[in-house]
Homo-oligomer: A and B are copies of this chain.
Amino acid sequence: MVCQRGWNHDSSRTVPLQYFLSNAVERRFFVFPELKVIMTETTQSPAKVSLDTIVALAKRRGFVFPTSAIYGGLANSYDYGPVGVQLLKNIKDLWWKEFINGRTDMVGLDSQILLHPRTWEASGHVTAFNDPLVEDLKTNKRYRADHLIKNWVAQKLEANPEDSDWKDFSVENLKLEEMGQFLTEHKILSPDGNQLSAPKAFNLLFETAIGTVAGAKSKVYLRGETAQGIFSNFKHVVDTSRVKLPFGIGQIGKSFRNEITTGQFVFRTLEFEQAEIEYFFDPETSDWNAIMKDWKAGMWQFVTKTLGIKAENLRWRQHTDKERSHYSKDTYDLDFKFPFGWSELWGVAYRTDYDLKQHIQFSGESLEYLDPNTGRKFVPHVIEPAVGINRMFLMVLTDAYRFDTTKNRVVLELNPKLAPYQVAVFPLVKNKPELSAKAESIFQTLRQTYRTAWDDRGNIGKRYLSQDEIGTPYCITVDYQTLEDDTVTLRDRSTAEQTRVKLTELESQLAAMVR
């Protein structure tokens, strides 16, 4: 993602939550007596679901848990539970299959989280990867100065949308001292109404030390982005793989940013997972506009077709000259309509030869590419499509969430490729060995091909609702009739309709639906 950024990216992170639900959704075991979902005016539009609803569902069904909850938790940290980790894995696997395995011009990589500290001097993170923080002088709570200013301006504009003083205001233009002046001049207080300290720049890289003897420790950083591991391996990849320009290197992995976050669940966390691509090309023979267009098409295709996200929840936003990094010639965000508003899902930036040149300068190594046809040596340019996997996860949950008022149930309308389980098998009751044996044999067959759940607890209705909430597209129930005529009940998650299917036709029918 973007480095040498100031505090300009992702303007929406302090947008207040817009929809709140009753506490009923917090209750477990299918009790939603007063579940209230604000629907949009037309049936075509997606349900606007609150973040609270998503968080409650995620916790209730084992998608996401707060990290270290038994010890009181850790700020903005989340673990992925049994169905969450599978959804996360499915997203990553589809990304990998489409962008790494599925293209002849791409290869994968997996660099370490701990890299040589010079890496981050070259990238600019050590000097310029900062947040402008202010402290509430009474509570000692910390806030981002730019966020407080942005909120203050947003309130002014809410009162008077045409206010010429603020219409074109952009906090990105303010330096650290100017933010301090702005806060003082406009008497801006903390959310608790207290005086604020002057803003200070705080570096976002986590530090640690390699070496096991006190005094001889050497400082290293947890990577702030996966991209730099790609740049520092550029030459290795060129020398050992049979790649030629234009080609890209992609990797998925954890990154860390010591940020003040504002409670947007897994949208922004200190520890998060990225999927970044650096696509290298010769600026003399390739048209960067065409490559940018190609990647935008690839990103759009992945989100709408592969993940199945509704197009009306997506938009492109071109970065303004002000917010774009100085070395970038063009940058776009693919935004998703999150419960807290439009926010960046996936960015694609033309970064020129900035990164490789920085590493050449700081390492003294040649990272030039030798054109095998012309013999010309040069530093390739790069276009970077970079996405946060955890944001994709939150997008998928948000987009898939539906409250079915006719049946009083929550349904996750997940693409079958993404669903943690693609099919569930139930024996009608648990204490009839013939039913269990028959169901077990169907289960064993299906799980060769599909991610298959097994459930023999409680009544069938509750089992259906349980699978609806984790997005399982199909449920198969083995009942007494099965023992007579070798048919089962096949129940569709989205329609809740049940049909009798012959066992001999079950696999082909599933294959057609689940692919």
Which of B214, B241, B242 contacts A81 (CB under 8 A)?
B241
Pair A254/B254 contact, Cβ less than 8 Å = yes
Q: Could you give, for residues 464-494 of chain A, a 1 whenever the CB lies within 8 Å of some chain B CB and a 0 otherwise? A: 0010000000000000000000000000000
A451 shortest CB reach to chain B, Å = 6
Chain B residue at minimal CB-CB distance from A92: B89
Which residues of B are found within 8 Å of A159, using beta-carbon distances? none
Q: Which of A74, A140, A454 has the most CB of B within 10 A?
A: A74
Q: Which of A108-116, A180-188, A336-344 contacts B (4 or more CB under 8 A)?
A: A108-116
- Find A79's partner among B100, B118, B222, B233 (CB 8 Å cutoff): B233
Verify A236–B65 contact, CB threshold 8 A. yes
Given known pairs A81-B237, A270-B210, the reply for A443 and B104 (CB within 8 Å) is yes
- On chain B, the residues within 8 Å of A59 by CB distance are 240
Are A140 and B85 in contact, with the CB atoms below 8 A?
Answer: no
Indicate how many identical chains form the complex. Answer: 2
Considering only residues 181-220 of chain A, those with a C-beta below 8 Å from chain B are 200, 202-204, 206-214, 216, 220
| The stretch of A163-171, A312-320, A359-367 that contacts the partner chain | A359-367
A98 to chain B, nearest CB (A): 11
A148 interfacial by beta-carbon distance below 8 Å: no
List B contacts of A241 (CB < 8 A). 62, 81-83
Q: Which residues of B contact A423 (CB under 8 A)?
A: none
Q: CB-CB < 8 A to A214: which residues of B? A: 202
Contact B108–A86 (Cβ < 8 Å): yes
Which residues of A (139-173) have their CB < 8 Å from a CB of B? 140, 142
Q: Indicate if the CB atoms of B213 and A202 lie closer than 8 Å.
A: yes
Q: Is A28 an interface residue (CB 8 A)?
A: yes
> Residue A328 at the B interface, CB < 8 A?
no
Tell which of A59, A62, A135 has the most Cβ of chain B within 10 Å: A62
Q: Knowing A443-B104, A447-B101, A455-B242, say if A110 contacts B208 (CB, 8 Å).
A: no
Q: Does A235 contact B (CB under 8 A)?
A: yes
Beyond the given pairs A70-B232, A81-B233, 13 more chain A to chain B contacts, judged by CB atoms under 8 angstroms and listed by A's residue number, are: A28-B240, A59-B240, A61-B240, A62-B236, A68-B116, A75-B210, A84-B110, A102-B447, A104-B454, A113-B271, A212-B259, A212-B260, A222-B222
A-B contact pairs, 24 of them (CB 8 A): A28-B240, A67-B111, A68-B116, A70-B235, A70-B367, A71-B232, A74-B115, A79-B109, A79-B229, A79-B233, A80-B110, A82-B241, A82-B249, A85-B110, A86-B100, A89-B96, A104-B443, A114-B271, A135-B213, A140-B216, A202-B212, A208-B222, A211-B258, A242-B457
